[in-house]
């Protein structure tokens, strides 16, 4: 394997790569992606089909330093990137009993043993407070003990051209010298909107599939939810409905505060954070701004910054909402990944 003439003399290995959102951002910025590693076999096709790189199905906790070292392209700067599963640190996992939080330690161990030139770690902001901040602070301490200069910040997606109100904790570290975080490219007045991303897609009713794009498909609504979305206002809540449409759980005192479900998005603003269940109307503010349905899989992918032609399912293979929705919702938004890649590119150019 060699580095193309128009690419950067650096190679990228992506841990916890999923369907390839982070890798694709680096590919868009002319990095050579050497490999992606993930335990989910379902991610193999989308990763390899869109990133021109091999997918290795492997538990990161069982990776050896030699296995990682051997993936990098010889005589290039080595960039190790990854987003350890964020569910353990999410507000949706209040009990913090998910053992996957230990995968961040595994990421740190690999960094310590392989000493790549540059590291990028992305996760949810709540990692900062998890276990009193000990997990994140231990990760930084391990990097600094391995002679990395570390920078980190919480990046807000719309500031970088993402049409989604997603905030992510991003860390950059380098053994080559100080490294700067990405600089915002968009002000509030120029934020990309839901209309910018999905406004040109063909109209669909709930349960329909676009014959030209099998991922542009909408989940079917129950009769009650069809009536609910017909009553929903862009940017509104279930409080706008007639009383007979309000769910029983929202009529009791413990449920009256949960207003961020059964909502429509607004055309003129970024979308809410895309979760793994964005294709379900009752799972958040995922109602289409004017069509009586939830987002399609393709619309969710576009709001995550994936290109219009990004493939998630092999031609002729059956499309499963849950499987594809998980890959899209768990991905690092490609738009944000590109901003991270640009920051790494500027850093490598500055230390040549």
Bigger pLDDT: 338 vs 231: 338
pLDDT at 63 over 90: yes
Report which of residues 344 and 255 the model is more confident about: 344
- What are the tens digits of pLDDT across the range 334-347? 999 999 999 999 99
Q: Is the pLDDT of residue 256 over 60?
A: no
What local confidence, expressed as pLDDT, does residue 116 receive? 98
pLDDT of residue 180: 98
Q: What is the DSSP string of 93-115?
A: -TT---GGGGHHHHHHHHHHHH-
Average of pLDDT values for 248-266? 59
Which pLDDT does position 182 carry in this prediction? 97
Statement to judge: residues 169 and 246 lie in one domain: no
Q: Is there a domain that residue 5 lies in?
A: no
Residues 325 and 342 in one domain: no
Pair 205, 120 in one domain: no
Q: Which domain holds residue 132?
A: 10-186+333-350
Kindly give, in sequence order, each residue whose CB lies less than 8 Å from that of residue 80, ignoring residues fewer than 6 positions away: 12, 13, 15, 68, 110, 111, 114, 116, 118, 119, 120
Q: Is residue 4 part of a domain?
A: no
**What is the CATH number for 317?**
3.90.120.10
Shared domain for 72 and 133, answered yes or no, is: yes
Rounded CA gap, 243 and 272, in Å? Answer: 26
Same domain flag for 29 and 154 = yes
Q: Which pLDDT belongs to residue 329?
A: 96
Our count of domains for the chain comes to 2
The answer to whether residues 326 and 338 belong to one domain is: no
Structure tokens at 171: 């860390």
Question: Confidence class of residue 244 from pLDDT cuts 50, 70 and 90?
Answer: low
At 143, give phi and psi (nearest 5°).
-65, -45
Q: Looking at the domain assignment, is residue 215 inside a domain?
A: yes
Q: Give catalytic status of residue 86 as yes or no.
A: yes
Q: H-helix or E-strand containing 297?
A: helix 297-303
- The predicted model scores a pTM of 0.90
Res 247: pLDDT: 59
> What is the model's pLDDT at position 236?
67
Q: Are residues 298 and 250 in the same domain?
A: yes
Rounded mean pLDDT, 281-296: 93
- Mean pLDDT of all residues belonging to the chain: 89
Q: Say which of 17, 43, 83, 86 is annotated catalytic.
A: 86
Q: Reply yes or no on whether the pLDDT at 311 is more than 80.
A: yes
pLDDT computed for residue 238 by the predictor: 61
Between 224 and 269, name the one with better pLDDT.
269
The verdict on 152 and 208 lying in the same domain is no
Which of 1-15, 86-100, 141-155 is the most confident on average? 141-155
Is the model more confident about 262 or about 7?
262
DSSP 202: P
State the average pLDDT over residues 259-272.
Answer: 85
For residues 144 and 171, the answer to whether their CB atoms sit within 8 Å is no
What's the chain's Rg over C-alpha atoms?
A: 21
- At a CB cut-off of 8 Å and minimum separation 6, what does 186 contact? 158, 159, 160, 161, 192
Most confident of the following: 83-87, 131-135, 203-207, 281-285: 203-207
Give the pLDDT band (50/70/90) at residue 283.
Answer: confident
pLDDT above 70 (res 20): yes
Residue 28 sits in the same domain as residue 147: yes
**pLDDT at residue 37 tops 80:** yes
- Tell me if 3 is assigned to some domain: no
Could you give the CA distance from residue 345 to residue 140 in angstroms, rounded to a whole number? 22
Alpha-carbon distance of 296 to 305, in angstroms, equals 15
Percent of the chain with pLDDT strictly greater than 70: 86
Provide the greatest CA pair distance for the chain: 67
Residues 270 and 338 in one domain: no
């Amino acid at each position: 394997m060699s580095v193309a003439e128009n690419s950067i003399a650096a190679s990228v290995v992506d841990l916890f790569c999923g369907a390839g959102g982070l890798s694709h951002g680096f590919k868009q910025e002319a990095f050579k992606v050497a490999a992606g590693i993930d335990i989910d076999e379902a991610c193999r096709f989308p990763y390899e089909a869109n990133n021109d790189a091999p997918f290795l199905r492997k538990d990161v906790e069982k990776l050896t330093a030699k296995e990682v070292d051997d993936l990098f392209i010889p005589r290039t700067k080595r960039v190790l990137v990854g987003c350890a599963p964020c569910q353990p640190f999410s507000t949706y996992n209040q009990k913090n009993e998910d053992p996957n939080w230990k995968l961040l330690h595994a990421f740190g161990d690999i960094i310590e043993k392989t000493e790549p030139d540059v590291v990028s770690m992305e996760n949810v902001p709540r990692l900062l407070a998890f276990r009193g901040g000990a997990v994140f602070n231990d990760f930084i301490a391990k990097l600094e003990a391995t002679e990395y200069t570390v920078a980190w910040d919480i990046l807000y997606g719309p500031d970088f051209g993402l049409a989604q109100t997603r905030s992510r904790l991003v860390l950059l570290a380098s053994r080559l010298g100080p490294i700067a975080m990405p600089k915002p490219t968009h002000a509030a007045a120029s934020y990309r909107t839901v209309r910018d991303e999905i406004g040109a897609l063909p109209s669909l009713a709930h349960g329909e599939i676009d014959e030209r794009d099998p991922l542009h498909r909408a989940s079917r609504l129950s009769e009650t939810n069809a009536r609910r979305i017909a009553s929903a206002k862009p940017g509104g809540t279930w409080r706008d409905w007639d009383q007979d449409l309000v769910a029983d759980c929202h009529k009791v005192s413990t449920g009256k505060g949960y207003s961020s479900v059964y909502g429509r998005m607004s055309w003129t603003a970024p979308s809410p954070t895309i979760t793994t269940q964005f294709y379900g109307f009752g799972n958040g503010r995922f109602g289409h701004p004017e069509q009586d349905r939830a987002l399609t899989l393709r619309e969710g992918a576009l709001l995550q910054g994936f290109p219009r032609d990004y493939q998630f399912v092999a031609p002729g293979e059956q499309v499963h909402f849950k499987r594809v929705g998980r890959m899209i919702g768990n991905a690092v938004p490609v738009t944000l990944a590109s901003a991270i890649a640009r920051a790494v590119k500027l850093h490598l150019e500055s230390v040549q």
